[in-house]
Chain A
């Protein structure tokens, strides 16, 4: 069984999501190869080569791949994946954007948002906002898998490194052009791999009030999350959205602050280890998934918790 893992990265460092993908895949494919596509990304290839189980890293390094756009990257992967039985990627916006396009060219049905791998051809994936787990049997000759990173721990890295093989295939992209990006500076851990997440809902009432959430998060070295309602209201940027259509997280500790618990939000956080809910409404659905609940005004409770913790 040969498996190729597509590395997720920003040309500087390897995303930890790829470590979870590698771990997931190692249950059916002890060793695997990785492919790093980008520009000036040799350092990423080095990091990828140290993943436990990695046999070889393909490095495709050219300015044409700087933004890893799907149009040409998919064609490149189609060329590389010929002798493999599995192709795996994270179910992030990067993976979601790329994998189906590859699948169409290979005439294969991809299996997305995998939360469990049962056998080499049996997978479990979430659907209906996580309220249904579907067991999938795939008989496609190559399995295209996108992995929910938060459902798998990260694989170990080691000091030994696998060989890096440079591939010189440059495919032009005349169809799509990168213009700009707005990535706010990240001071806190990535949401999908954070240990502690403090998430706020519409009850926060303003962007300014989100500093309460941030203050609590920083006490734990944690991350800040939000509901769709809070993002729609403009309290916080889209990349903090947790839910069916945002990020899916599973930290050790999840604080739901002023969050009522719509199905769509629960889809993104109900696999957290411990959930604490703070809400004025005791009937709010969030209390049905919370391990611990505090009923009351978040503007009193959160400062109180911060005060105690700062003692």
Chain B
């Protein structure tokens, strides 16, 4: 069995971001980039399946060569090898999904595990799109995963609570925060990861057209809320907002 895991590199999710003066680029003062936190959980889950069942875990990264840092981290967690699809063009999630779908077919993948969203774009598209392109079943926002002979059982975190589905394989899974807690890779594993195979291919060699129907034309900061006031205590709060009038009898 082969598992494919996708990793994206994002601006540190705790960093402050803002548009540049022309409103064309999103910037950050402390522009540290790291693996998308959801993708790290996806890697951890795949590696746990590998440790239990001996699957092969393949990491896919799409973007500039900088993404190697996040891919090496995934290899240090325990993935076997990587495929880096190199491009300096900012690709929309539809094109990214086409790349992943194509690689999944070429590599005869049985299971794709991805983060449920990236903390920069916040789209929550790619897993569902890959599943749609391949016509595979999907388990999104997964917080529990068990694997059977030729099926998967997933518990999904949905707006009303939890939902359990059974999926035939091959399938696509997108993971939520509570699925696992990613390990901290040990120093020997970090060193070992440097020698694991990381195959680079060019996006242009895949013959997938760019999508022209979607353009982010400007970025703005949301309106700032006005500075509030600190009140002396509960009495003042209740009086000030006339909270008593809001009490339901």
Binding site for B on A (CB under 8 A): 10, 67, 69-71, 74, 92-94, 96-105, 107-113, 122, 126-141, 174-184, 186, 192, 196, 218-221, 228, 231-232, 237-239, 244-245, 247, 253, 262-264, 270, 274-277, 282, 287-296, 301, 304-305, 308-309, 311
Which one of B78-86, B102-110, B134-142, B186-194 is at the A interface? B134-142
User: Is B225 close to A, CB under 8 A?
Assistant: yes
Are A291 and B165 in contact (CB-based, < 8 A)? no
- In the bound complex, residues from chain B placing their C-beta under 8 Å from that of A105 are 132-133
> Of B16, B26, B157, B231, which is in contact with the most chain A CB atoms at under 10 Å from its CB?
B157
Chain B interface size band reads 35 or more
What 1/0 flags go to B98-133 for Cβ under 8 Å of A?
Answer: 000000000000000000110111111111111111
Q: A129-B122, A137-B215 are in contact. Are A101 and B230 (CB under 8 A)?
A: no
CB within 8 A of B216: which of A135, A245, A274? A135
CA distance A174 to B227 in the complex (A): 55
CA distance A67 to B137 in the complex (A): 14
Q: A275-B228, A293-B229, A294-B230 are in contact. Are A74 and B235 (CB under 8 A)?
A: no
Are B129 and A294 in contact (CB-based, < 8 A)? no
- In the bound complex, residues from chain B placing their C-beta under 8 Å from that of A289 are 225, 228
Chain A's closest residue to B19 (CB) is A132
User: Is B159 close to A, CB under 8 A?
Assistant: yes
CB within 8 A of A132: which of B130, B137, B219? B219
Chain A's closest residue to B38 (CB) is A245
CB within 8 A of A101: which of B138, B222, B243? B138
User: Is B76 close to A, CB under 8 A?
Assistant: no
> How many whole Å from B98's CB to the nearest CB in chain A?
9
- In the bound complex, residues from chain B placing their C-beta under 8 Å from that of A113 are 122-123
Q: A96-B140, A103-B132, A131-B16 are in contact. Are A304 and B124 (CB under 8 A)?
A: no
Are B218 and A132 in contact (CB-based, < 8 A)? no
Are A292 and B218 in contact (CB-based, < 8 A)? no
- In the bound complex, residues from chain A placing their C-beta under 8 Å from that of B238 are 305, 308-309
Are B214 and A111 in contact (CB-based, < 8 A)? yes
> How many whole Å from A148's CB to the nearest CB in chain B?
11
CB within 8 A of A139: which of B212, B228, B229, B243? B212
Q: Would you mind naming 15 contact pairs between A and B with Cβ atoms under 8 Å apart?
A: A70-B128, A101-B129, A105-B133, A110-B123, A127-B123, A131-B16, A133-B221, A139-B215, A181-B161, A186-B160, A219-B247, A253-B246, A274-B241, A304-B234, A309-B238
Q: A101-B128, A220-B247 are in contact. Are A292 and B241 (CB under 8 A)?
A: yes
User: Is B53 close to A, CB under 8 A?
Assistant: no
Binding site for A on B (CB under 8 A): 11, 13-14, 16-19, 26, 92-94, 97, 116-117, 119-133, 136-141, 143, 153, 156-168, 171, 176-178, 211-222, 225-231, 233-235, 237-238, 240-241, 243-244, 246-248
- In the bound complex, residues from chain A placing their C-beta under 8 Å from that of B247 are 219-220, 309
- List 20 other contacts, CB 8 Å, given A103-B132, A140-B214, A291-B229: A10-B160, A93-B140, A100-B93, A100-B129, A104-B132, A109-B94, A113-B122, A128-B119, A130-B222, A131-B221, A132-B222, A176-B138, A182-B161, A184-B161, A186-B160, A238-B143, A239-B160, A263-B14, A288-B225, A305-B243
- In the bound complex, residues from chain A placing their C-beta under 8 Å from that of B161 are 181-184, 237-239
CB within 8 A of B93: which of A109, A140, A277, A308? A109
Are A103 and B246 in contact (CB-based, < 8 A)? no
CB within 8 A of B231: which of A93, A174, A292? A292
CB within 8 A of A301: which of B168, B216, B234, B248? B234
- In the bound complex, residues from chain B placing their C-beta under 8 Å from that of A262 are 14
CA distance A59 to B205 in the complex (A): 45
CA distance A247 to B160 in the complex (A): 11
> Of B93, B94, B127, B220, which is in contact with the most chain A CB atoms at under 10 Å from its CB?
B94
- In the bound complex, residues from chain B placing their C-beta under 8 Å from that of A296 are 233
CB within 8 A of A96: which of B124, B162, B228, B235? B124
Q: A179-B153, A232-B178 are in contact. Are A107 and B230 (CB under 8 A)?
A: no
Chain B's closest residue to A98 (CB) is B128
- In the bound complex, residues from chain B placing their C-beta under 8 Å from that of A96 are 124, 128, 140-141
> How many whole Å from A120's CB to the nearest CB in chain B?
14
- In the bound complex, residues from chain A placing their C-beta under 8 Å from that of B216 are 134-136
> How many whole Å from A243's CB to the nearest CB in chain B?
10
Are A291 and B228 in contact (CB-based, < 8 A)? yes
